[in-house]
Amino acid sequence: MPDPLSVSEWDVPWLGLVVGNTRLHWGLFRQQQLQAVWHTPHLTSAQVTELLDHQFGVAAWRSLPTLDRSTLDELTKLAAILPPASPLRLVVASVVPAQTDLWQRYPYFREVTLADIPLANLYPTLGIDRALNLLGAGDRYGWPVLVIDAGTALTFTASTAERLIGGAILPGLTTQFTTLAANTANLPTAHLPTELPSRWASHTAEAIRSGVIYGTLATLTDYVQAWRQDYPAGQIVLTGGDGPKLYQWWQSQNPKTPGMTLEPHLTFLGLSHLQPALLATGPQF
């Protein structure tokens, strides 16, 4: 194992990896400052080996298939600030153990678990992404805070600065569309639209869009109202892949309701918050 990192060694960049249900989310940090973000599909063992053998060098990234233009642009930033000699430290937060296992042979690997989260009342099956989102939101925007994560699942997670209050989970927007199509014989496949659809649809695919989107917005409004009733001064932070669309639609339907904050990189803010604690752990990282 590598020697414990000194404070000066944390001056070099480090890599955060958030393993989601459908994608890998990458963040490049210098100390506690997020420098670049990109996303990839889940990787195979061979692809992981390529990245590790080349110390996450840009050429190894470019060998991966299906990288889009925004990812390639972020990799340009990666090339500009990679340390010339020191290896990148890798901090992983994962909800998919099979993907986590692929990285564990890397000598500068550190997995973040619930034991690292300085909040009381965390239950063992709470997703590490939800816990990190709370840290990032509370640290950046203040406590108490309700975090809404609009990803594969739509989750509501609330906390004070000291303890988890609780939350809820339901299928995300895209998951609702795909599940409905997969489990019904006569309904067509409908996809997440770019614009808010008409509430009263005149054909089946549009009726599915109306039901999924307005149903989700109604759920969102209900949880926001309950939160405002219990914590009038509490913060509300929205994140996740479907967050920008849901934010736009919810704001259009609730123009006079006290708003929420959209933060696309919330989990990385949570990792950044933990950086001093990770440094203090010493031998394992």
| Interatomic CA distance for residues 245 and 251, integer angstroms | 10
Of 86, 111, 136, the domain-final residue: 111
pLDDT of res. 6? 47
**Which of these is catalytic: 129, 149, 222, 230?**
129
Query: 175: closest CA among 200, 122, 212, 130?
Result: 212
Q: What tens digit of pLDDT does each residue of 26-81 get?
A: 999 988 899 889 989 999 999 999 999 988 888 888 888 767 778 878 887 777 77
Same domain, 157 and 207: yes
Same domain, 252 and 160: yes
Of 67, 90, 111, the domain-final residue: 111
What is the DSSP code (8-state) at residue 21?
Answer: S
Same domain, 107 and 78: yes
Residue 284 lies in a domain: no
| Interatomic CA distance for residues 254 and 149, integer angstroms | 19
Phi and psi dihedrals of 213, rounded to 5? -75, -50
What is the DSSP code (8-state) at residue 60?
Answer: H
Calculate the alpha carbon distances from 1 to 57, 137, 163, 281 in Å. Answer: 21, 33, 34, 14
| CB count in 10 Å sphere of residue 257 | 13
Task: Tell me the residue range of the domain where 232 lies.
Answer: 119-268
pTM of the predicted model over 0.75: yes
Q: Read off the CATH number of the domain in which 60 is found.
A: 3.30.420.40
Query: 143: closest CA among 156, 130, 161, 117?
Result: 161
Q: What tens digit of pLDDT does each residue of 152-168 get?
A: 999 999 999 999 999 99
What is the DSSP code (8-state) at residue 120?
Answer: B
Same domain, 86 and 226: no
Torsion sign (Cα): 215, 141, 157, 191? positive
Beta bridge partners of 97: none
Same domain, 200 and 217: yes
Same domain, 136 and 234: yes
68 is catalytic: no
Q: What tens digit of pLDDT does each residue of 183-205 get?
A: 887 888 898 999 999 999 999 99
Q: What tens digit of pLDDT does each residue of 232-272 get?
A: 999 999 999 999 999 999 999 988 777 799 999 999 999 99
| Interatomic CA distance for residues 139 and 144, integer angstroms | 10
Q: How many domains does the chain have?
A: 2
Of 88, 111, 134, the domain-final residue: 111
Residue 275 lies in a domain: no
| Interatomic CA distance for residues 279 and 117, integer angstroms | 14
